[in-house]
Amino acid sequence: MVRAMRNLQEIAEVGYAAPLDTRVTVERVGMRLVRLPLTEAFETSFGSIDTRLIFLIWIEANGLTGWGEVVAAEEPRYSYETIGTALHVIRDYLAQAAMSNPVASLEELAARFATFKGHNMAKAGVELAFMDLFARMNDKSLSEFIGGTRAKVPVGVSLGIQTTLDALLQRVDKFLSLGYQRIKLKIMPGWDIEVVREVRRRHPNILLSVDANTAYTLADVEHLKALDEFDLLMIEQPLDHDDLVDHAKLQANLKTSICLDESITSVRRARHALDLGSCRLINIKIGRVGGYSQALAIHDLCYKRGIPVWCGGMLESGIGRAHNLALASLPGFSLPGDISASSRYFHHDVIVPEVEVASDGTVDVPVRPGLGFDLDLEYIEKCTELVERIDRV
């Protein structure tokens, strides 16, 4: 249960005899779009981007501010959500639901949001801001607040499709020399078997995985089987974004473990995937599954069933990354996450200090209250394209 830290003026107004209010009364929900240039273009089977429009969200409640991030992209390619749909859904539905009555817990907030279908990334953004605030109210780091057990988390890097094989090999060498514990290669038809063969030939012993972002169909079974000889940690999301059944058929034909990303949008979908044998590993992204409530439930389900999980990334700014670090500190996150250094994505991040990867390929989990970093408000202001504030009526 959450313990509110009231300021003296509030206590004077309410009277010392009043029971300590443990609920969060949201006075304002704020949204801010911030465009950050990427250090290099990021290409996947669904397209290429060279700037990231970051969607920051904050809530003001009980004299504190909590921060989150909506990970939706500008175009509906990874999922149907976009920055535009999330602005609409938060502005017109979720903000009102969050402010209509005081909120006592994450579960209560999630139950209110569950009455709206879909729009997981929008819901997650609000949940993130709440959890930052709940943790601050309790004077705990987010990691501590959710029951994290790791002081540092192992991390890997996700490398986009490059124009040449040489360019890719150089990047692989660079990130290995920086200590990253796992290399993930984006693949698609025409940039797959031979690319993986060459990386594996040069690095016989590294943790290596591939991510297809839905680029294949079941007709490609024989083609994908060719990946089995490279001792990959996993092949991530080879088939359609909403598929579980064909993935189960594919998994039955592959030695390599399938890891689902796009297909796992809730704890129920995670259970179905495990029951069907659609995958042997799961990548948890807080945004994709609708927030901490579902992310924690998927973690717990997989932990009970002995299924390894890892924390996925969405090219977040430092605010989303701070939340990812807290999540990845839970005991079930036994594989390196897509939680790279700030400098791997941006020339300048929105948090201080920036996220750094140590030479042993780990990132320290923040220990200060809440998300555990300061915000570079000046830089955020400088890069802002839009601000909206919704006040409680």
Binding positions for ligand OSB, rule: CB under 6 A: 78, 158, 211, 213, 261, 312-315, 338, 340
Report the run of H or E that residue 100 belongs to, with start and end. helix 95-100
Q: Residue 129 binds which one of Mg ion, ligand OSB, none, with CB within 5 to 8 A depending on kind? A: none
- Closest approach of Cβ 339 to ligand OSB, in Å? 7
Determine the 3-state secondary structure of 155 from DSSP: strand
Q: Residue 291 binds which one of Mg ion, ligand OSB, none, with CB within 5 to 8 A depending on kind? A: none
Q: Residue 338 binds which one of Mg ion, ligand OSB, none, with CB within 5 to 8 A depending on kind? A: ligand OSB
Nearer to ligand OSB, 211 or 349 (CB): 211
The burial class, CB within 10 Å (0-12 / 13-18 / 19+), for 255 is exposed
Nearer to ligand OSB, 60 or 261 (CB): 261
- Closest approach of Cβ 312 to ligand OSB, in Å? 5
Mark 54-82 as b/e (b = at least 16 C-beta within 10 Å).
bbbbbbbbbebbbbbbbbbbeeebbbebb
Question: Do residues 71 and 285 lie in contact, with contact meaning Cβ atoms separated by under 8 Å?
Answer: yes
User: For residue 228, what are its two tokens?
Assistant: 């089995």
Please tell me whether residue 316 binds Mg ion under the rule CB under 5 A. Answer: no
Q: Residue 370 binds which one of Mg ion, ligand OSB, none, with CB within 5 to 8 A depending on kind? A: none
Report the run of H or E that residue 64 belongs to, with start and end. strand 64-70
- Closest approach of Cβ 49 to ligand OSB, in Å? 9
- Closest approach of Cβ 33 to ligand OSB, in Å? 17
Please tell me whether residue 338 binds Mg ion under the rule CB under 5 A. Answer: no
- Closest approach of Cβ 61 to ligand OSB, in Å? 29
Question: Do residues 44 and 160 lie in contact, with contact meaning Cβ atoms separated by under 8 Å?
Answer: yes
* Residue at shortest CB range from ligand OSB: 313
Task: Please indicate whether residue 174 is annotated as part of the active site.
Answer: no
Please give the order of strands across the beta sheet that includes 47-61: 64-70, 47-61, 26-44, 384-391
- Closest approach of Cβ 78 to ligand OSB, in Å? 5
Nearer to ligand OSB, 158 or 278 (CB): 158
Stretch that binds Mg ion, among 201-209, 233-241, 301-309, 361-369 (CB under 5 A): 233-241
Please tell me whether residue 43 binds Mg ion under the rule CB under 5 A. Answer: no
Q: How many CA atoms lie within 13 A of 90 on its CB side?
A: 35
Residues within window 257-276 making contact with Mg ion, judged by CB under 5 A: 261
Per-residue H/E/C for 353-373 = CCCCCCCCCEEECCCCCECCC
Q: Residue 143 binds which one of Mg ion, ligand OSB, none, with CB within 5 to 8 A depending on kind? A: none
186, 225, 255, 304: the active-site residue: 186
- Closest approach of Cβ 18 to ligand OSB, in Å? 45
Q: Residues touching Mg ion: how many (CB under 5 A)?
A: 3
Residue whose C-alpha is closest to residue 141's, from 376, 375, 332, 322: 322
* Residue at shortest CB range from Mg ion: 261
Spell out the residues 6+ positions from residue 46 whose beta carbon is closer than 8 angstroms to its own: 77, 78, 213, 214
Q: Residue 127 binds which one of ligand OSB, Mg ion, none, with CB within 5 to 8 A depending on kind? A: none
Residue whose C-alpha is closest to residue 53's, from 79, 80, 94, 86: 86
Nearer to Mg ion, 310 or 373 (CB): 310
- Closest approach of Cβ 287 to ligand OSB, in Å? 10
Question: Do residues 286 and 128 lie in contact, with contact meaning Cβ atoms separated by under 8 Å?
Answer: yes
Per-residue H/E/C for 297-358 = HHHHHHHHHCCCEEECCCCCCHHHHHHHHHHHCCCCCCCCECCCCHHHHECCCCEECCCCCC
Question: Do residues 104 and 158 lie in contact, with contact meaning Cβ atoms separated by under 8 Å?
Answer: no
117, 123, 285, 382: the active-site residue: 285
Nearer to ligand OSB, 132 or 261 (CB): 261
Contact residue for Mg ion among 211, 316, 349, 376 (CB under 5 A): 211
Stretch that binds Mg ion, among 117-125, 211-219, 263-271, 274-282 (CB under 5 A): 211-219
Phi, psi angles (nearest 5°) of residue 35? -95, 120
Report the run of H or E that residue 28 belongs to, with start and end. strand 26-44
Q: Residue 56 binds which one of Mg ion, ligand OSB, none, with CB within 5 to 8 A depending on kind? A: none
Computed over its alpha carbons, how large is the radius of gyration of the chain?
21
Catalytic residues: 186, 285
